[in-house]
Amino acid sequence: MAFLDLKNVRKGFAQSVAVENFNLEVERGEFISFLGPSGCGKTTTLRMIAGFETPTSGTIRINGADVTGMPPNRRNVGMVFQSYALFPNMTVADNIGFGLKVARKPAGEIAARVEEMLRTVHLPEFGARYPYQLSGGQQQRVALARALAIQPQVLLLDEPLSALDAKIRVSLRNEIRSIQRQLGITTIYVTHDQEEALSLSDRIVVMSNGRIEQIGTPFEIYNFPTTRFVASFVGTLNVLSAHVASAAEGRLTIDGQEIRASKPLGDVGAGQPINLALRPEIISIDGAADSVPNSTNRLAGTVEDVMFLGPTVRVRVRFGEQALQFDEVNNPHLNPPARGQQITVSFPPEACLILGNA
Amino acid sequence: MRKRHFWPWVWVVLGLLYFFVPLIATFDFSLRARKGVLSFDAYANVFDDTFFYQSFTFSLQAALLTIVISALLIVPTVYWVQLRVPRLRPVVEFVTLLPFVVPAVVLVFGLIRTYSSTLLNSRAGGYSLLVASYVVLSFPYMYRAIDTGLRAIDVRTLTEAAQSLGASWATILLRVIFPNVRIALLSGAFLSFAIVMGEYTIASLLAQPAFGPYMNLKASSAVYEPSALAILSFGLTWGTVALIQFLGRGAPGQTQLGGVR
């Protein structure tokens, strides 16, 4: 049985449905991210696990126990908030020890645990300070230590890095992952940042409009999106309108040029329009035609725009009514393509993601 | 530039004169109990009067009781309204402002009509009614101070954080909410204290031996002592305001009346 089990969970409000038909099984020690745009229901789902919202229907089980109607203070679930939510009247040590005091643990045990948590989050000297004396990143570490101090069954993080600047976000992200691995705690992480979700998670739950779009490992979610939403939300994507030449052979045409997908296109008739998605990093300029295999797809077009971004050069190429964009690694010894230049781009058949009818 | 600064200063000086001249005159008058010399005789007479101490301690007790009851009533109410029913906020705000709309004399006549044959038959009953009336009078000050204090902290998230750490409602109120509105609570409490210490109408009509009726009695039976009492009363009010300011500089993350620190 899964350690955290959500079955047919639904949450409706007066005017709308926030979460619908949500099913998820999380194994002990797994790191799961809920990824989706604002209003997709990811935070509502997290709040239902925490007990701050009650599902309209469905069940939530933690370690086999049904917690669906259980008040939040009896769930033993640690929560880290976007706004840190440290108690301003308490020192860092008192904040971390709060849950243990509430549980009436002996003073010695509390002090030892607080010390241990401060070391875990690399703030051993900060116990006597007040939250207002800490930076945002330090406050969030304290919030993490406070949530972990009670040894929760599940750790819930609600966009914990959103309020921090980019550099601290990356370092704290790595720290969260390393602490989670070290403690082996089952973790649910809510974010709208795909990079965070991809880099942290064992599995990602991509959500849209209150429903699960896809559940998979970061590798699966990025490389094999099953819906158009996932394909477009996770990573950058070129979506091109193609026409089926032969569904069985996986042949398509874009602006009259034939390309090939690695798999048959399914039950689609010849001449039917179809959406084809290509990740930008898989596309390259076909400068040395002899060096690429014959099976590689090629599309000829006109360079419409070139943007120099430092480590990469972003190129937009137009094929009739459509355009695609890709990044070339900056090579100081080679000039980037010029605007208006005719070029050919290439990509392997395996890179063609078929998203269904246009 | 010089011209631009002239008129504001004129208004400031006029305002200060309007406020301080009567006060200085009262103080001066209170020092003239002994013919030909300035003395504190009037103050000594006041402090020698046992009724002064009796009425002062009576009002002091009533004020402290008022503050405790008012805090216990208003903090959880404001907290609950902000957390669970924010749409009721204007209604609660209106109710707490009623003492400004309904004069104290109307309130006390209502109380007398309603409780004349029950509570007002006993001394304890009359005292209870007096404190209950003071609690109502303290509503606007306590509510506004605590509401401001609670709005300066993220009540919902702090509550949820405490809940996720296993805290019950009582623990959240006592260890998270009350300490975080301590300064706001003190502001409201001191304002209520100042109001109750000088209150006359309710105490007088309920025939309670409070400080307000004592001051009024003195005014009709002595010459210099009422001025001394007025200065003492001012001193008490200013002292409480000074305490609010002093404590308002205190603890981290605290709020005081008038906004976020």
Contact at CB, A87 and B166, closer than 8 angstroms? no
A98 close contact with B: CB closer than 8 A: yes
Distance CA A67, CA B178 (A): 30
Nearest by CB to B153, which of A50, A77, A88?
A88
Record the tokens describing residue B90, joined without a space: 């204007």
Q: How many residues does chain A have?
A: 358
Residues A298, A316: Cα–Cα separation, whole Å = 15
Q: Comparing A30 with B2, which gets the higher pLDDT?
A: A30
- Maximum CA extent, chain A: 77
- pLDDT recorded at residue B260: 30
Contacts of A52 in chain B (CB under 8 A): 160, 163
Q: Do B158 and A102 touch (CB under 8 A)?
A: no
Which pLDDT tens digit goes with each residue over B171-182? 999 999 999 988
* Residues 6+ positions from B81 with CB-CB distance below 8 Å: B88, B89, B92
Whether residue B166 and residue A103 make contact (CB cut-off 8 A), yes or no, is yes
Could you tell me the pLDDT band of residue B9, with boundaries at 50, 70 and 90? very high
Of residues B167, B182, B252, nearest to A102 (C-beta): B167
The nearest CA of chain B is from the CA of A20 a distance in Å of 24
How far apart CA B230 and CA B218 sit, in angstroms, is 11
pLDDT exceeds 70 at position B80: yes
List CB contacts (< 8 A) between A99 and chain B.
165-167
Q: Quote the CA–CA distance of A277 and A289 in Å, as a whole number.
A: 23
Q: What share of chain A is helix, strand, coil (3-state, %, to 5)?
A: 30, 35, 40
Interface contact A103, partner B, CB < 8 A: yes
Give the pLDDT confidence of A7-64 residue by residue, as tens digits. Answer: 999 999 888 899 999 999 999 999 999 999 999 999 999 999 999 999 999 999 999 9
| Partner residue opposite B161 with nearest CB, options A51, A75, A85 | A85
The answer to whether the Cβ–Cβ distance between B163 and A130 falls below 8 Å is no
* pLDDT of chain A, 358 residues: tens digit per residue: 799 999 999 999 888 899 999 999 999 999 999 999 999 999 999 999 999 999 999 999 999 999 999 999 999 999 999 999 999 999 999 999 999 999 999 999 999 999 999 999 999 999 999 999 999 999 999 999 999 999 999 999 999 998 888 888 888 999 899 999 999 999 999 999 999 999 999 999 999 999 999 999 999 999 888 888 898 888 888 888 899 998 888 899 988 899 998 888 888 888 888 888 888 888 988 765 455 566 789 999 999 999 988 888 999 999 888 999 998 888 888 888 899 999 999 999 988 888 765 5
Q: Are B31 and B230 in contact (CB under 8 A)?
A: no
Contact A146 B153 (CB under 8 A): no
Query: Please, which pLDDT band fits residue B250 given cuts at 50, 70 and 90?
Result: low
pLDDT digits (tens, 9 = 90+) for B121-134: 788 888 999 999 99
Q: What is the pLDDT of residue A158?
A: 95
Note whether A87 contacts B176, CB cutoff 8 Å. yes
Confidence of residue B255 (pLDDT cuts 50, 70, 90): very low
Residues in chain B: 261
Both tokens of B28, joined, read 């001066």
Distance of alpha carbon A120 from alpha carbon A155, whole angstroms? 15
Cβ neighbours of A103 in B, within 8 Å: 166
Among residues B237, B242, B227, B167, which one has the least CA distance to residue B199?
A: B237
pLDDT at B256: 37
